[in-house]
Structure 1
């Protein structure tokens, strides 16, 4: 539906044609007066085909809602007590949106108006997304704090608007924008919420210099104090809500783990009483098999499950209690996978693999920490219990890239990359000076590509492909190496100029030179902060996107086809004088660009001024102040508050001294890694959520344990 909204013919354009299946693209680019209308340039789907596609999409959307409703009513409403797997109110709202959009389609085909109301239903579907529903509670919880500051801001604007009217009502010079209370109110609003205060106050200040003191007081109160307080208030409200929500979610997950533990112990005939249940190995493996069927987790074999069970079963009784089961559950919440350490040469050519020269070569490629040897013939129990005596603090690292020191191959490749960087600088200097490059440069590019290929082959001769592929940096090196090599070879064979297109990848490849900066604490902290923001900001970005999507479609329906250079109603407007006609509402992509500019600039008064001149609907310009309040002042400020909260959390974790203590989770992960090491395998894992969620679960487990002791 989102893609259809971008490519469907705008309703204002389809009004000019009597055919639903004709090509409206050419007609949309020309106004009734023959003037050119700036469009985004995307190909439009004819109205008729667009309506057919929309009807098909609505069928599948309604089918989804009806199936969810049937599942909830048939299976979960009949439970005692009732359980909510799907929200019936949300389902009914979605079905109502589908019916509303169908009625809008019928009305549009029958009467062909210049606007449609389908954008209301399409936004409604987006509001049913889990991310939007969760964050809507956050927005609601922050509204009271926002309104408390907004009331002071509105009161300040009203006060200074009244003062300005009283001062300039009898003046003929320097009173632009302050002739009436309504104009003064809008002028003070623009000056207070945007960077256009200079334009607003310049004429009055030029004519009456003393009025600058009044404007200075206003700007200090609004820009320095109140607008800053808006962000501070939302940040505090967001942090309070996020901490409370994280605790509630963690407690909910822990209770779910406890319930699952009791169910597994009950159905697998635990030997102990119901007061102190324990899970057998057979029951745990059955649970892992069922859990692995989920498409959102990495499947775990029965062999790996046995290793994990024995890793957590410290006393070797064949039973695990609730605390140990929670440790395993925390492990499997990560995205966990195993890879074979050594390359195929360890199996195919053991004599070569164990030779002295090849051992030195392996140390040169992966360093001392990458020297692994496969051991066969050990039972799982032997591997687990023999590894318990070799637990070290370095076990948090896995893989050759985590070994202490820089391998010799890596140091040599850094030198090669620096030399290649010099070649790129020389090539750039020749290109900018429009001087032909020496033929030797092409040969050197091929040589460097072959050197990069040799690096990949060296690593794959020591470690397995799965181990090599487990690291993102290696994946990037692999693709860029083959791309650069293929373009260099094709250029030499066919005398083409394909290598020019690989210049950007070549430069990105050279960024490996700075890989050693990862050892600097400040660099580690900033990289961790940025990665956390990218991983956890998805829900916030979705909410912001929904708000921008709504105003984008709304503006296309209200003023589509009206903002163009030849429109006489826009003569003398700053919108045309500043050449802003490309930022219009004539189709969805162009309108999206306009609202992004509004979002980042906070408020652009030229847009509402232009809309008020051309719109057929009185008061249409009010959507821009509404967007400022909803999109900029609340949602976008919450995005900023989110980034501040993430930074503060990571900064506190960085400043806090780490206290290591071994719990069931650490022991399980610890021994599991050691047991896999005995088999010549490496354990890799990534967090499925974020670190704060994992810490919240751990704290909830501890609170539940304290309650049980009492």
Structure 2
């Protein structure tokens, strides 16, 4: 960014110089162009858009031609150079990510090659099954980052590696070792429902299977969507007086421990419907499968809050305040979001967002660190200067800062870390940051405070905010590409349709070749955080299933 920022600095200095000359001894010049430094500061604020178009109004009211000066400056500095900084940041970020991915791939290959040579004691060019199984056993004990693998699971991992079925692993197969370990293996028996385990006859009955088919059907979801829409309509009708701005006097008998109004009756009915929905889904799907769905857990949380709030509010003489139940009622309206995610486009946006969040946390931690550092500096430099204590003479100096006082920015200070972090977050948002800064100028009696605010804007807004934007853009396109492949919405380069779904179910005893008498059905899934390698693993799944010829294998 250095070259572009240098170009921006030159443009600002040139326009500032030009502005001092053309606005000399005029209202415009007296307000923001008294000298070169004041003009540079005024135009810098323009670049941040915090004082535009206010800054040009004194001269614009006198002559429309002066707009050419400010408009040309904003076009060059704000519309071109600031967006050029973003473009350069995105490009540099993409290049660094590609370079990092390449370097990690090279490092992985080097380390795995070294490991292969260490395991290949006889220099045969292959590793036998016993060596690989022993290696995974050592990993179980020494590497807490990977899940503990059972004997069956280690055998399945070996089966993934052994693509040619030779029971020996050559170097090309061994290079996939790190990727295969990212597979998430789970026993299918772990997903057995309570009814399947405790009441097998009921589970096999026609009426129960019909119920399961109905609960898993789209018709059940559509019926629930209709209930959600009806619930939202009734809530909107109930709240219409407040939504339209009318004065509303709450019923003093509302929620006095009894259900005695039509609205409370409807809210109770909807709560019962949502409870039945949760019970049916948990019964049919089992808690483990039900809880793996973020949407199910969101619905369950809202339903649980509604039940607890209803019990707390409507229990006789317990809590005669309707605010809590109304909050939960409004929270239930959020479940309407499920209707949006029924459409493919919103499904994609939602899934990508969930996948991006874990990686985005590290980027936002960098921004948090910068804010924390500047907040610490602010507490050291300006702590205690912003005050309303009449015994402190600084409070009278602060009263001279009209913009600061008019906006009631008293709490925007560096008297403690929490307040300092809030001030810096306001600066990241950019709007009205000059009104906050002017207060510190008055209490310090100097303009050197501008350097502090300028440095944070440079680091926090121009640099890090653009890095965050670059990350989101890069992550969005990367995850969208992976998601499109995962859901089978496009074909690969060979023209073969990608496997739909990211889960394989197979019989462990058939795959591993160990007939134990009890067949363990396993589910293999690619962990969401590693979707960039998903295509390779699915190829392994496809090869594995082709070799097993097991009737229990399905995609």
Q: TM-score, normalised by structure 1?
A: 0.63
Segment of structure 1 superposing worse, 547-556 or 203-212: 203-212
Displacement of 1:322 after TM fit? Answer: 3.5
Unaligned runs of 5+ in 1: 1-145, 267-272, 368-405, 700-710
**Partner in structure 1 of residue 366 of structure 2:** 543
Name 2:123's counterpart in structure 1: 274
Question: How far apart are the structure 1 equivalents of 2:43 and 2:109?
Answer: 53
Change (3 A) 1:675 1:499: farther
In the alignment, what sits opposite 2:381?
Answer: 558
Aligned to 2:205: 355
Deviation for aligned residue 1:213: 2.1
Residues 253-295 of structure 1, C-alpha deviation per residue, up to 9 Å, x if partnerless? 23333333444444xxxxxx52512241x33333333333444
Q: What is residue 351 of structure 2 aligned with on the other side?
A: 528
Which residue of the partner structure matches residue 302 of structure 1? 151
1:424 aligns with 2:231: no
1:413 match: secondary structure: helix
Alignment of 1:141-220 (within 5 A): 146-171=1-26, 174-220=29-75
The alpha-carbon deviation at position 321 of structure 1 amounts to: 3.0
Q: Return closer, same or farther for 1:698/1:226 CA change in 2, 3 Å cut-off.
A: farther
C-alpha distance in 2 between matches for 1:238 and 1:697: 27
Superposed, 1:616-627 pairs within 5 Å as 619-627=448-456
Q: CA deviation at 1:157?
A: 0.9
SS in 2 for 1:551: helix
Q: How many Å separate the matches in 1 of 2:536 and 2:204? A: 47
**Distance (whole Å) between structure 2 residues aligned to residue 572 and residue 451 of structure 1:** 61
Answer yes or no: is 1:577 the counterpart of 2:406.
Answer: yes
Q: Work out whether residues 362 and 462 of structure 1, in 8 Å CA contact, stay in contact via their aligned partners in 2.
A: yes
Task: Say which SS state the counterpart of residue 420 (structure 1) adopts.
Answer: helix
Rounded to whole Å, the distance in 2 between the matches of 1:260 and 1:497 is 69
Deviation of 1:190 (Å):
1.9
Aligned to 1:58: none
2:270 and 2:240 map into 1 onto residues whose CA distance is 19
Question: Is it true that 1:632 corresponds to 2:487 in the alignment?
Answer: no
Query: Structure 1 residues 674, 631: CA separation in 2 closer, same or farther (over 3 Å shift)?
Result: same
1:346 alignment partner in structure 2:
196
1:607 aligns with 436
Give yes or no for contact 1:174–1:205 (8 Å, CA) kept in 2.
Answer: no
1:285 equivalent in alignment to 2:125 = no
Which of 441, 448, 453 in structure 1 is aligned with 2:263? 441
CA spacing shift, 1:549–1:535, aligned 2, 3 Å: same
- Between 1 and 2, higher relative CO (CA 8 Å, sep ≥ 6) is seen in 1
**Alignment-derived partner of residue 237 in structure 1:** 92
Measure, in 2, the Cα distance between the counterparts of 1:682 and 1:660: 30
* Matched residue, 2:474: 645
Deviations 1:96-132 (A, max 9, x none): xxxxxxxxxxxxxxxxxxxxxxxxxxxxxxxxxxxxx
SS of 1:461 mapped into structure 2: helix
Distance 1:331 1:192, change over 3 A: same
Q: Distance in 1 between matches of 2:527 and 2:75?
A: 45
SS in 2 for 1:595: helix
**In the aligned structure 2, how far is the partner of 1:338 from the partner of 1:203?**
74
Other structure's SS at 1:584 match: coil
Give 1:226 shift.
Answer: 1.4
- Cα distance in 1 for partners of 2:283, 2:522 equals 17
- Structure 1 residue 600, shift from structure 2 partner: 1.1
1:507 deviates by 4.2
Are 1:560 and 1:586, in contact at CA under 8 Å, matched by a contact in 2?
yes
CA-based RMSD of the aligned residues comes to 3.6
String of CA shifts for 1:311-345, please: whole Å, max 9, x gaps.
Answer: 55455443333344444532322454445333232
- 1:206 shift after superposition: 2.7
The alpha-carbon deviation at position 601 of structure 1 amounts to: 0.6
Query: Secondary structure at the residue paired with 1:605?
Result: helix
Question: What secondary structure sits across from 2:107 in the alignment?
Answer: helix
CA distance in 1, matches of 2:73, 2:527: 49
- The alpha-carbon distance between structure 1 residues 162 and 594, as it changes in their structure 2 partners (threshold 3 A), is same
Q: Given the superposition, is the C-alpha separation of residues 262 and 617 from structure 1 closer, same or farther in structure 2, using an over 3 Å criterion?
A: farther
Structure 1: distance between partners of 2:406 and 2:523: 63
CA 216–457 in structure 1, closer or farther in 2 if over 3 Å, else same? closer
**Once the 2 structures are TM-superposed, how far is the Cα of residue 183 of structure 1 from its aligned partner?**
1.8
Could you tell me which runs of 5 or more consecutive residues in structure 2 were left unpaired when the two chains were aligned.
255-259, 511-518, 540-555
Taking structure 2 as the reference length, what is the TM-score of the superposition?
0.80
Distance 2:384 2:150 in 1: 60
2: CA distance between counterparts of 1:600 and 1:494? 48
**Corresponding pairs, count:** 505
Query: Alignment partner of 1:462: what SS?
Result: helix
Distance in 1 separating the partners of 2:379 and 2:508: 59
Tell me if structure 1 keeps the 8 A contact 2:306–2:329: yes
- Helix, strand or coil at the partner of 1:278: strand
Of residues 472, 480, 498, the one that matches 2:302 is 480
Cα 1:550–1:513 shift into 2, 3 Å: closer
Q: Check 1:689–1:349 CA distance in 2 against 1; reply closer, same or farther (3 A cut).
A: closer
**CA shift at 1:659, angstroms?**
1.0
* Whole-angstrom CA distance in 2 between matches of 1:613 and 1:696: 63
Please give the residue correspondences for 1:322-471 in structure 2 after superposition, counting only pairs within 5 Å. Answer: 322-339=171-188, 340-367=190-217, 406=218, 408-429=219-240, 433-434=248-249, 436=251, 439-471=261-293
